[in-house]
Amino acid sequence: MAQEKKQVEQITSMESDFAQWYTDVVKKAELVDYSGVKGCFVLRPYAYALWENIQAVLDKKFKELGHENVYMPVLIPESLLNKEKDHVEGFAPEVAWVTHGGSEPLQERLCVRPTSETLFCDHYAHVVHSWRDLPKLYNQWCSVLRWEKTTRPFLRHREFLWQEGHTIHATPEEAQAETLRMLEVYADLAENYLAMPVIRGRKTDKEKFAGAEATYTIECMMHDRKALQSGTSHYFGDGFARAFEILFTDKDNQLKNPFQTSWGLSTRIIGGIIMTHGDDSGLVLPPRIAPVQIVVIPVAAHKAGVSAAADALLSRLKAAGFRVKSDTSDQSPGWKFAEYEMKGVPLRLEIGPRDLEAGRCMMARRDNGEKISVALDHVETEAARLLEEIHRGLFEKARQNLSQNTFTATTLEEVKAIAEGPGGFIKTMWCGDEACEEKFKEAAGVTSRCMPFQQENLGETCPCCGKPAKHMVVWGVAY
């Protein structure tokens, strides 16, 4: 028990220091290790397993929708990166350059991909010639490199894992529909697998992706009421196609530029899961993507029949399709309880001599600590029911956090008071001018998160300049 206590004490409480709590959890749950290069993190097996489960959900959906996986090179010639003006301006400050091959200086600098639009465009120019070649629905799983100044595990890496979808279409309507369709895939992942409620919306021009005509986003609220941009989908129009001279002969025999999209979701979402569901005992993982859904812990394993019963339960649960493990190490049950709480395993199944005698076992929920006595005959059905309940419970708790901490304001003073007081998301009207958007930042330290698809009419004028309002915007402090 002494060990259990010590382990729990080592985590900073969320209320006292949320940032330190986050760092503690990431380390104690064995998610990452630091490497020799700042901002490049080792994803340890538990974090990688989490990513693989997220990857599996998305990859299946992409393929169901007709996307194919491809792989582009890691290096981009400088001349290629420079082809689209807005794009290069947006990314130039954070690209890393390869200047030498061995000891020989290169004729042309090569950048390590910060994102792969330019590579896809170059390829599309080679393979798209006719309307028959369209659409191309491609996705790439890879890592990208951005030379960030401040870095934090999952939230801001220099190198991070992600997927980037890149599609090319004959018409703007088709490309626009694709942009929104993929945003919905991200929203579905967040809400139905990660139990993270989202706000779907469009980014302002100031916040949109470099080179995009429109950027759409899903925004989530973290436990500390800050925002996490969790997935984005971009509509490029034919801007990239013009810059890269991608042309196709349409059905009417005219030579035209096609229309493009890109969309990405990264390991950043793992930071989102941690900060949405975690608590003072550590991680709390949503059951649908948890690497281990159920941990079986024999109590007084030396007593007759206990080990065998635990083994039998493990086999049954495995056979029923659960991701399950048992811990038969010589650590005390108390140590094990704390360990798997730290790792956020949704359900703990305890079985000891008295349970066995009664033909029962105990299931403990990670999300709310509730303990349920379950007949051994019903273990599979009860486990399934409880995992579903945990998913719904986590979603509901996060939804309440979002709705209770979303406020409405009609003046800049109100925005400031909310930002300096409780924090959270602030809804206001906005005239559409970037100058006013800047003022929100100067006055209250908030940035526009998005213009939600679900617009509300909170008034007729912009709180900054008093001119007629065009959009409702959600503002917040973002990670």
Contact set with Zn ion (CB under 5 A) = 431, 433, 436, 462, 464-465
Residue 406 or 461 having the CB closest to Zn ion: 461
**381 CB burial (10 A radius; 0-12, 13-18, 19+):** exposed
Q: Which of 87, 86, 123, 88 is nearest to 109 (CA)?
A: 88
Residue 122 or 437 having the CB closest to Zn ion: 437
The residue length of the chain stands at 479
**302 CB burial (10 A radius; 0-12, 13-18, 19+):** exposed
CB of 431 to Zn ion, least distance (A): 3
Please, which residues have CB within 8 angstroms of residue 142's CB and are 6 or more apart in sequence? 71, 72, 74, 113, 116, 161, 162, 163, 164
CA dihedral of 117, 184, 384, 276, whole degrees rounded to 10: 80
Residue 431 or 451 having the CB closest to Zn ion: 431
CB of 460 to Zn ion, least distance (A): 12
Residue 112 or 462 having the CB closest to Zn ion: 462
Residues 157, 158, 162: CA angle, nearest 5 degrees? 65
- 32-34 and 41-43 as β-strands: parallel, antiparallel, unpaired? antiparallel
CB of 200 to Zn ion, least distance (A): 24
Report d(CA 473, CA 457) in Å as an integer: 11
CB of 467 to Zn ion, least distance (A): 5
- 371-375 and 360-365 as β-strands: parallel, antiparallel, unpaired? antiparallel
| Bond prior to 45 in cis (omega within 30° of 0) | no
Residue 221 or 462 having the CB closest to Zn ion: 462
CB of 420 to Zn ion, least distance (A): 21
CB of 478 to Zn ion, least distance (A): 21
CB of 465 to Zn ion, least distance (A): 3
Q: In sequence order, what are the beta bridge partners of 218?
A: 200, 231
Please, which residues have CB within 8 angstroms of residue 71's CB and are 6 or more apart in sequence? 140, 142
Residue 33 or 434 having the CB closest to Zn ion: 434
Residue with tokens 């659960």, as numbered in its chain: 322
Residue 33 or 438 having the CB closest to Zn ion: 438
Residue 458 or 465 having the CB closest to Zn ion: 465
Report d(CA 444, CA 249) in Å as an integer: 51
Report d(CA 60, CA 80) in Å as an integer: 32
Please, which residues have CB within 8 angstroms of residue 90's CB and are 6 or more apart in sequence? 209, 210, 211
Query: 3-state DSSP call for residue 107?
Result: strand
Residue 353 or 432 having the CB closest to Zn ion: 432
Q: In what order do the strands lie in the sheet with 75-77?
A: 75-77, 104-112, 97-101
Report d(CA 315, CA 383) in Å as an integer: 14
Rg of the chain in Å (alpha carbons): 25
Report d(CA 182, CA 65) in Å as an integer: 9
CB of 430 to Zn ion, least distance (A): 6
Residue 462 or 477 having the CB closest to Zn ion: 462
CB of 424 to Zn ion, least distance (A): 22
- 347-351 and 97-101 as β-strands: parallel, antiparallel, unpaired? unpaired
CB of 418 to Zn ion, least distance (A): 18
CB of 438 to Zn ion, least distance (A): 10
Residue 148 or 433 having the CB closest to Zn ion: 433
CB of 449 to Zn ion, least distance (A): 17
